[in-house]
């Protein structure tokens, strides 16, 4: 039975808030933007808040005593409070502004990892991780003499939880895991996995880059040690992300980057680091971006309250039903009722890039490639896939356009292959022009 969208959610009202969605595709059709897992568009309220800062009160923060600096500083720290509220964090000081999800993970890998991980230690990752939640841990292992262990994914896309517990029982130092796979659309049971890890004294970092845009996050309920995400995945600006960490852990960690803003005092032969979170925000911070992120957090909270999760769920359900009915289309991951926000798929005999290019010609934007998840694609023995990912401003009609565009693309590629086979047959005729094919009796010598 299909999920019903509550009457309080108005997709047309939501779309009207995003200027770029008013554009037409060069072919004259409305833009069907189904690449939201890569990045979401920005509503006018976020753009206006950032524009207002630049126009009315922009100045560097924490360094000036003039009124512009004081206003900017207040807005910047208010943004931290807003993000903490969005995450249900106990205190704003647990929120560190970074350059993005990748920057947040690298910060932990250096500031926490360099002092907690040593030769022979184990770092646990999974096959479904984004490269941003793999490479920093590989680098940490190389620096320290530790090793990484990868938890396998089952054929249906779910983690092998028995294998995970067996690995955790060996006492690794860290479990780094995504809350929502950017390829499979699977939401991992983070609270349960954290409890499992706690039994063995394992520190847990959660990559919430995809999850943050699709359901409310309560870091206290999750119970993890670190949670990271990027603003641009949830209608905020690029260039800013968040590291949330337990205050006690953050206090124990040394700064990753050095420079202005992160110090208490500097001497001729050294320095003392500032308090948390200042010690992790070296240099001029992303002031305007933080203000935009705060507004995006408010908007996401409002969307959740109005039923956007059920709206996206219906889009995914419909897309899964329609795509799974197409001959030659294979969907990665679980059934519709076990996935969120996106569908990745392959088309038999057609490269993902060709599929995406054909869809673009009919005004449907999807992502093609390995989606920064090469180990996962290797696990399913494919080089690339197409991904359609949905957000609160997408319509049901856009799902129909995706399916119809895909069906048309498949027909065109089948026709091309048929023409190619006919051409090959012609090329196999004898060199002497007799018309006899290779292998026929009496062929010319």
Residues 6+ apart with CB under 8 A from 182: 37, 130, 209, 210, 342, 371, 372, 373, 387
The strand ranges marked E within 349-435 are 364-365, 367-369, 385-389
Helices (H), 258-339: 287-305, 308-324
* Dist CA 431 CA 61 (whole Å): 79
Cβ 387 vs Cβ 332: under 8 Å? no
What token pair was written down for 225?
């040690």
**386 catalytic, yes or no?**
no
d(CA 435, CA 433) in angstroms, rounded, equals 5
Question: From the candidates 101, 297, 372, 386, which is the catalytic residue?
Answer: 372
- DSSP string of 83-149, one letter each residue: HHHHHT-S-GGGEEEESSHHHHHHHHHHHTHHHH--TT-EEEEETT--GGGTHHHHHHHHHHT-EEE
Q: Is the peptide bond before 409 cis (omega within 30 degrees of 0)?
A: no
- Would you name the residues annotated as active-site residues? 372
């Amino acid at each position: 039975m299909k999920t019903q969208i509550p009457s309080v959610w108005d997709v047309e009202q939501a779309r009207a808030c995003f200027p770029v969605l008013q554009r037409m595709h060069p072919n004259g059709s409305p833009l069907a933007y189904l690449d939201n897992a890569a990045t979401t568009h920005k509503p006018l309220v976020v753009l206006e808040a950032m524009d207002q800062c630049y126009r009315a009160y922009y100045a560097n923060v924490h360094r000036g005593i003039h009124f512009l600096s004081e206003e900017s500083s207040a807005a910047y720290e208010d943004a931290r409070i807003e993000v903490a509220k969005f995450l249900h964090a106990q205190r704003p000081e647990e929120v560190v502004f970074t350059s993005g999800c990748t920057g947040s993970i690298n910060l932990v890998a250096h500031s926490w990892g360099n002092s907690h991980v040593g030769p022979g230690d184990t770092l646990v990752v999974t096959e479904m991780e984004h490269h941003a939640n793999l490479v920093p841990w590989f680098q940490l292992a190389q620096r320290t003499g530790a090793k990484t262990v990868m938890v396998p994914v089952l054929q249906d896309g779910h983690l092998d939880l028995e294998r995970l517990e067996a690995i955790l029982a060996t006492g690794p130092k860290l479990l780094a895991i995504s809350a929502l796979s950017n390829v499979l659309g699977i939401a991992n049971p983070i609270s349960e996995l954290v409890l499992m890890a706690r039994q063995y004294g394992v520190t847990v970092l959660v990559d919430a880059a995809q999850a943050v845009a699709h359901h409310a996050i309560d870091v206290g309920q999750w119970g993890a040690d670190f949670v990271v995400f990027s603003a641009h995945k949830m209608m905020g600006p690029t260039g800013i992300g968040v590291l949330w960490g337990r205050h006690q852990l953050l206090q124990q960690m040394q700064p990753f980057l050095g420079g202005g803003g992160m110090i208490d005092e500097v001497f001729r032969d050294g320095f003392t680091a500032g308090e948390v979170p200042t010690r992790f925000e070296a240099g001029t911070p992303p002031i305007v971006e933080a203000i935009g992120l705060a507004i995006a957090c408010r908007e996401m909270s409002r969307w959740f309250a109005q039923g956007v999760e059920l709206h996206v769920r219906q889009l995914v359900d419909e897309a899964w039903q329609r795509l799974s009915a197409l001959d030659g289309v294979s969907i990665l991951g679980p059934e519709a009722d076990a996935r969120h926000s996106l569908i990745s798929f392959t088309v038999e005999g057609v490269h993902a890039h060709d599929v995406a290019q054909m869809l673009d010609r009919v005004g449907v934007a999807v992502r093609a490639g390995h989606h920064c998840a090469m180990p996962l694609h290797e696990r399913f023995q494919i080089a690339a896939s197409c991904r359609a990912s949905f957000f609160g401003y997408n319509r049901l009609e856009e799902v129909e356009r995706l399916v119809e565009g895909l069906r048309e693309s498949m027909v065109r590629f089948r026709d091309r292959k048929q023409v190619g086979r006919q051409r090959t047959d012609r090329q196999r005729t004898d060199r002497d022009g007799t018309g006899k094919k290779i292998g026929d009796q009496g062929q010319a010598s």
